[in-house]
Structure 1
């Protein structure tokens, strides 16, 4: 599954996490999360996997794109 910047921001919002908290839990830099969410760069596959795994382990379900785009919800 691909993670969109909008999904990442929405997932953090559901968890009430800052960019710093997500970055620390995923083991990446805050600038990586910030730049991804601001569409400054795309993620390497390994980094994307770390972020997805971290969000899912925290209870976020990432929904694939449908008629209205990507989505997120809590498990």
Structure 2
């Protein structure tokens, strides 16, 4: 599953992460995060995977759009 810009912003908010922190942990450019989150461009698949992996490693769980739309939450425990 891919992630969208709103999920990325929400995940960062749950972690209280700046765009710089996410860029560092995902090993991508800050500009990539900025452009993705504001809808200016869609990163390539490997970049999205790196962003998702960094957020998941920090404790975020991505929720599929199961009728209510996609979302995020912190993992239990």
Same fold (TM over 0.5): yes
1:49 is matched with 49
CA RMSD of aligned residues (A): 0.6
Q: TM-score, normalised by structure 1?
A: 0.97
Number of equivalenced pairs: 75
2:25 is matched with 25
Q: Structure 2: where are the runs of 5+ without partners?
A: none
Name whichever structure is richer in strand by fraction. Answer: 1
Q: How big is the shift at 1:50?
A: 0.3
CA distance in structure 1 between the aligned counterparts of 2:64 and 2:15, rounded to whole angstroms: 19
Q: TM-score, normalised by structure 2?
A: 0.94
